[in-house]
Chains A and B, each alone.
Chain A
Amino acid sequence: MSAPWSRFVADHIVDLPPSGIREFFAIVEENPDAISLGVGEPDFTTPWRVREAAIFALERGKTSYTNNLGLIGLRRAINRYLHSRFALEYNPDNEILVSVGVSEALDIAMRATLNPGDKVLYHEPCYVSYSPSIRLCHAEGVPVRTRAEDGFALDPEALERAWTPGCRALLLNFPSNPTGGVAGGEVLERIARFAVAKDLLVYSDEIYAELTYDGVHQSIARFPGMRERTIFLHGVSKAFAMTGFRLGYACAPKPLIEAMMKVHQYAMMCAPILSQEAAIEALTNGEPDVVRMREAYQRRRDLIVRRLNEAGLTCHMPRATFYAFPSIASSGLNERDFALRLLQAEQVALVPGSAFGAGGEGFVRASFSTSYERIIEACDRIERFVDSLVVRA
């Protein structure tokens, strides 16, 4: 008889549903030869100049803890970078905190600012950790659907309708994983006015900012009244292909960073020093690599979106990220069956949209972070699969 281990596990963890993506990962692992369009990270290797900087740091014996906030050299580099790319400015001494990826930054931001029972508005479909992270703070998530017809931007009116008393914060992720949706200046301006009117704290995860293909990325922190109520979250994972370095950062007014620091210093101490040294190189000299990768992603995006639409899966043009988010409504299947049957029949792995929340029903996420050849082959197979469904119907 197995031990009732749940008596040792906290109730809110027992109640926390496992990630839908985790379940699908296990299924795909049984099909190692499948072409995977399920990867949520760059297929490029970290640029050598960045890896070399990490090696050099190791050779120099940089193996210690750092300041809890991160190396001052890195915080200065972050400030210079944000200023030149996004016209944002933060004091490196006390308005920037270096974290272990954006995931940690978001976690400590919420833990430092939410009280049990607080409500957090967030848009869905969204990155898999948002809803669980809110629940881990004993807070309540208030999802707002984004829609394909809006390019998966957040409709300010829908946001206003979703607001109820007790909403204290708003979690934004533009450009968005999994939809590739972005929020343009007009939408951001309206969201900003709403946040000010309702006195909301805004967590803004902008990790895909550099992978914007159409237009220029704008941060909500730049809008009137927003800097003082925004925790800007960013990192080097996506733009510089450094996911394994686990290096993110949060920027916010000093009192908020101090509050986050309390959690960070006890839970994490500091981000790994080698990753911090590598990030200095990336932020200071890595722009040509970002341009090269972004151009390749953009060509892949144009290719996959065209092919998915030709295959009969309506797909909006993502203006950023490396994800296409086509509707599979025309197949007559739900997203989970579509993904499972496609994997079984044609050995192509996509992620069911419902893994990203209820708003993802009827969609799948197709990452184009892979070679042209594999995208073409995967699209040929998807087309064949969709045709077979139509024939059978």
Chain B
Amino acid sequence: MTTLLKLLLEGESLTTDQMAEVLDWDRAAVEQELARLEADCTLLGWRPVLHPNISAEKQVRALIEVKITPEREGGFDRTGERIARFDEVESCYLMSGAYDLMVVVRGGNLHDIANFVSARLASIEGVLSTATHFMLRAYKEQGFLLSREQRDPDKPAVSP
């Protein structure tokens, strides 16, 4: 793992200039490395991680177990990639175990998701069955704890 990537994964939001300062690189070198990481798809993109219960756009999320028929050539990939392309799909994984695809779907309300599953997902050729589980509450979102630990006010500002 590159030094820059390790720094990014520490989770502190730093500007490009701050990254350059921490690493003692030129700003141009940081930009170049970021561009390289994006070009080789190590870094897929930049998005804020929103608190699911607080963000302005309240959304419903569901985890859908999908069973599909593998194809002679391509296995599960063609169907998996086809499902993944829907805007409603947040993530999509091929799984081991009792079902084949785990699809995380986001929608404005329960009906949006119900419509998506019945009208779009279940009707795809090769999809055998779906089981939808609605997410009720989040405790951790992409590595961020939602019950944030506050800075301890009792921790002394100066200590030996």
A positions within 8 Å CB-CB of B? 19, 21, 24-25, 28-29, 32, 34, 36, 38-41, 45, 127-129, 177, 295-296, 299-300, 302-303, 306-307, 349, 351, 371-373, 376
**Contact residues, B1-59 vs A (CB, 8 A):** 6-7, 10, 12, 14, 18, 21-24
Given A295-B6, A349-B158, 13 extra CB contacts under 8 A: A24-B158, A25-B158, A32-B157, A36-B157, A40-B158, A40-B159, A45-B149, A129-B160, A177-B160, A351-B158, A372-B12, A372-B18, A373-B18
Q: Contacts A371-B12, A372-B14, A373-B14: A299 and B22 contacting too (C-beta < 8 A)?
A: yes
- A39:B24 contact, CB within 8 angstroms: no
B158 to A376, Cβ gap below 8 A? no
Cβ-defined contact, A372 with B160, below 8 A: no
**Contact check: which of B7, B159, B160 meets A299 at CB < 8 Å?**
B7
Tell whether, in the assembled complex, residue B160 and residue A40 are in contact, meaning their CB atoms are under 8 Å apart: yes
**Pair count A-B, CB < 8 A:** 60
Q: Which residues of A contact B10 (CB under 8 A)?
A: 296
In Å, the complex CA distance between A373 and B14 comes to: 7
A–B pairs, 13, beta carbons within 8 Å: A24-B158, A25-B159, A38-B157, A38-B159, A39-B155, A41-B159, A128-B160, A129-B160, A299-B22, A299-B23, A303-B22, A306-B24, A349-B158
Complex CA gap A373/B21 in Å reads 10
How far is the CB of B1 from the nearest CB of chain A, in Å?
Answer: 10
Enumerate chain B interface residues (CB-CB to A < 8 A): 6-7, 10, 12, 14, 18, 21-24, 149, 155-160
Interface SS of B by simple majority? loop
CA separation between A38 and B156, bound complex, in Å? 9
Compute how far the CA of A272 lies from the CA of B7 in the bound complex, rounded to whole angstroms: 37
A28 to B156, CA, bound (A): 10
The residue in chain B whose Cβ has the minimal distance to the Cβ of A48 is B145
Count chain A CB atoms within 10 A of each CB in B6, B14, B22, B149 and give the residue with the most.
B22
Distance between Cα atoms of A372 and B19 in the complex (Å): 9
**CB proximity of A32 to chain B, nearest CB, Å:** 8
CB distance from A17 to the nearest CB of B (A): 14
Which B residues touch A372, using CB under 8 A?
Answer: 12, 14, 18, 22
Q: Please indicate the chain A residues that have their CB under 8 angstroms from the CB of B7 in the complex.
A: 299
Given known A-B contacts A45-B149, A295-B6, A373-B14, A34 and B157 have beta carbons under 8 A apart: yes
